[in-house]
Amino acid sequence: MSNNISKLRNIGIAAHIDAGKTTVSERILFFTGVNRKLGETHDGQATMDFMKQEQERGITIASAAITAHWKEHQINLIDTPGHVDFTIEVERSLRVIDGMVAVFCAVGGVEPQSETVWNQADKYRVPRIAFVNKMDRVGADFSEVVAQMNKYLGANAMPIHLPIGAESTFQGMIDLVTMQAVTFKEKERIVGEIPAEMLEQARAARHNMIEKLADYNDEIADLYLEEKEVEEPLLRRAIREATLKLLVTPVLCGAAYKNKGIQLLLDAIIDYLPSPTDLGAVIAHDPDDEEKTFQRHPSANEPFSALAFKLINDPYVGQQTFIRIFSGKLTSGMSVLNANKDKSERVGRIFRIKAKERQEITEAGPGEIVALVGMKYTRTGDTLCDENQPILLESISVPPAVIEMKVNLEDKKNRNRLGEALAKLTNEDPSFHSHFDEETEETIIAGMGELHLEILVERLRDEFKVPITVGAPSVSFRETITSASESNYRHVKQSGGKGQFAHTVIRFEPNPGKGFEFIDMTKGGVIPKEFMPSIQKGLLKAMAKSPVAGYPVVDVKCVLVDGSFHPVDSSDMAFQVCAAQCFKQGFKKADPIVMEPVMKVEVNTPDDFIGNVTRDLNKRRGRIENMRRFRKGSQKLDGFIPLMEMFGYATALRNITSGRANYSMEFYQYMPMPADKQAEIIKKRQEEEKGKA
């Protein structure tokens, strides 16, 4: 356990895919002595990318946590994926880190996923520094990346480095805080005088940095107005304060692959990113009363509180539950309360993790990120706390699954094994869902995108050894109502012995964006309170599959206005059946529509192909919101396009732009489909149903 919490840094590294953040992580591990040799993403040797699927594709899928040390500080490093299909990984990592290193490619600049990650970090108010990587690549432009950070991210970017050269002439950087030049030979950094030809430029850049800091620091403002020198310790303190308050983003540069700039990045993590004590108390609320709040400070003397943010299935030790401790002390063998499930959990073994290796420890304290073995009930987003002082910490928001795929077993004997594997995957990844369709006898899996499902299918085959065949991916549609309707349904069954009786009058109203809501407006006990859960259960069961096109129904308010019961023949089951039939009747009268997932899409294309790209997007029912100059000779298009029109888009875009454009997309929201498409979908669905019959 770290004795000095102020010397602890919980850091996430995040960026767009291919900006080089796993390479940055690998270099950090090398220079902090965690690794003796350098692992590379492209040869599948990266420490942080230890899943087979990551090594094959050269991308990061699961965020891995590693502990390293630098200058008497402990750094818990969390590497996160850059691919939008794994956005849940970024979301849950941001929930538990204190500071972030945002990596940008010096050529690509601010790319789509860097914007998504930046917005997620804004949501959790995570202080961050930026590292402009790949300064040695053709087309590298440091000042352009800084300009894009301000324009597209509102980052208030403040360079604390000035690159010496660019592309093949990139040698190192001028540190504007110490006013020294730092160059590199092999893996060593060489500190020297600023080259004479760059001295003027460096002074101007330092003057800009001090001018920016003068807005936030009175001491610096006084020195600036009196045109006096600002000493290095004051400058570091001012940069730290402004960074922690999210007022500025210090920008560094380097070339991780060539080992240039990593030691300076480590220094900046220590100097400018927060320790748990800097961020102070975390706010929690009473499990029984949301209005009642508590504070938990990062101190070993406070009651224990922690958030489970990730589950990994380890073939050697079983399920590992990663937690971030916010307060108090955890020891192995201790009993804690899972406040979400209201169940007691006994802490088995505690591990500090170095990617796939683990070091067993007997206790852990505030600010630490550790893995627990032996948790029975705990899932992602659950709060673990002191049994005598229950609290709930803010959980983790999970985006809806938008794409699904049918999975069939090659041999029915493996049904149990498939069930167990899917349960483990669902535990690990809350954005993945699966269910068994009784009618078709098929298993349906659903996730965030094609790549997401592709990787999960591979894991089922390789890791869990379940032989399966898969159907083509299909869009996960929803249905809802657009007008109010009332339905009066009486369920009576008399067939010898005890009968069944239930009667409900329910009003159905559109409830856009608010999901399912049930309100009991009955008076005088026409239906006893004990049957309310049964009515709700029946409604939810009916909403799982609409009576029109058979898709799940969302955003409906169900108001129970009247009804009646029989003292002998009314039962839970009778009211469930009655409510379900009442819903089916009312749904058809309330002008139902089919909703489709619409994606936010960004395309980067050279100017020559802009006409081809826009024509193709229009053909796909795309709505282009804006076009902006990306960098010389190329543009960015932002727009919204239905997911069903995006299948095969990667190939189409390659063909119409000779492979020179790229795109990214993420889920935006469910929106109503045009009437003609809706009719087409319903007809197709009804034919499928007939075929089954």
**Quick one: average pLDDT of 395-409?**
76
With a cut of 60, say whether residue 626 has pLDDT above it. Answer: yes
Q: How far apart are CA 369 and CA 365, in angstroms?
A: 9
**Quick one: average pLDDT of 655-667?**
81
Q: What's the one-letter identity of residue 5?
A: I
| Per-residue pLDDT at 688 | 73
Locus of tokens 């993945």: 432
User: What tokens appear for 18 in the block?
Assistant: 């291919």
Buried b (16+ CB within 10 A) or exposed e, 39-49: bebeeeebbbb
**Quick one: average pLDDT of 275-285?**
90
Average pLDDT, the chain: 85
| Per-residue pLDDT at 331 | 94
Show the beta-strand stretches assigned E in 116-178.
128-133, 157-159, 161-164, 172-175
Of the chain, the percentage scoring pLDDT greater than 90 comes to 48
Residue 596's contacts (CB-CB under 8 Å, 6 or more residues apart) are 475, 477, 478, 642, 643, 644, 670, 671, 672, 673, 677
Q: By mean pLDDT, which of 37-46, 479-488, 623-632, 637-646 is the weakest? A: 37-46
With a cut of 50, say whether residue 60 has pLDDT above it. Answer: no
With a cut of 50, say whether residue 167 has pLDDT above it. Answer: yes
Query: 3-state SS of 554-565?
Result: CCEEEEEEEEEC
With a cut of 60, say whether residue 51 has pLDDT above it. Answer: no
**Quick one: average pLDDT of 4-24?**
82
Pairing of strands 474-475, 403-409: antiparallel
Q: What's the one-letter identity of residue 237?
A: R
Chain length of the chain: 693
| Per-residue pLDDT at 49 | 38
Locus of tokens 């619409």: 598
Give the closest residue to 492 by CA, choosing from 578, 563, 573: 578
With the C-alpha atoms ordered 497, 503, 509, 512, is the resulting torsion angle positive or negative? negative
More confident residue, 655 or 574: 574
Give the closest residue to 237 by CA, choosing from 253, 220, 224, 251: 220
**3-class DSSP state of 533:** helix
| Per-residue pLDDT at 63 | 39
| Per-residue pLDDT at 691 | 67
**Quick one: average pLDDT of 353-366?**
78
| Per-residue pLDDT at 3 | 58
Q: How far apart are CA 395 and CA 600, in angstroms?
A: 25
Tell me the pLDDT band of 81, cut-offs 50, 70 and 90. low
**Tens digits of residue pLDDT in 569-609:** 999 999 999 999 999 999 999 999 999 999 988 888 888 89
- Give the phi and the psi of residue 257 in degrees, each rounded to 5: -60, -30
Tell me the pLDDT band of 356, cut-offs 50, 70 and 90. low
Residue 130's contacts (CB-CB under 8 Å, 6 or more residues apart) are 101, 102, 103, 104, 149, 155, 157, 249, 250, 251, 252
**Which range, 161-175, 393-407, 420-434, is most confident?**
161-175
| Per-residue pLDDT at 46 | 42
With a cut of 60, say whether residue 533 has pLDDT above it. Answer: yes
User: In this structure, are residues 96 and 76 in contact, taking their beta carbons and an 8 Å threshold?
Assistant: no
| Per-residue pLDDT at 261 | 94
State the first-to-last Cα distance of the chain, in angstroms, to the nearest integer: 63
With a cut of 90, say whether residue 156 has pLDDT above it. Answer: yes
Locus of tokens 């950070």: 149
With the C-alpha atoms ordered 100, 103, 109, 115, is the resulting torsion angle positive or negative? negative
| Per-residue pLDDT at 55 | 39
| Per-residue pLDDT at 497 | 67
Q: Identify the DSSP state of 46.
A: -
Give the closest residue to 215 by CA, choosing from 246, 249, 238: 238
With a cut of 90, say whether residue 66 has pLDDT above it. Answer: no
- Please report the DSSP string for 386-454 in residue order: -TTS--EE-----PPP-EEEEEEESSGGGHHHHHHHHHHHHHH-TT-EEEEETTTTEEEEEESSHHHHH
* Measured CA distances, 187 to 465, 576, 599 (Å): 43, 70, 44
| Per-residue pLDDT at 616 | 94
- pTM reported for the whole predicted model: 0.68
With the C-alpha atoms ordered 488, 494, 495, 497, is the resulting torsion angle positive or negative? positive
Bridge partners of 597? 670
Tell me the pLDDT band of 48, cut-offs 50, 70 and 90. very low
Q: How far apart are CA 421 and CA 432, in angstroms?
A: 12
| Per-residue pLDDT at 2 | 44
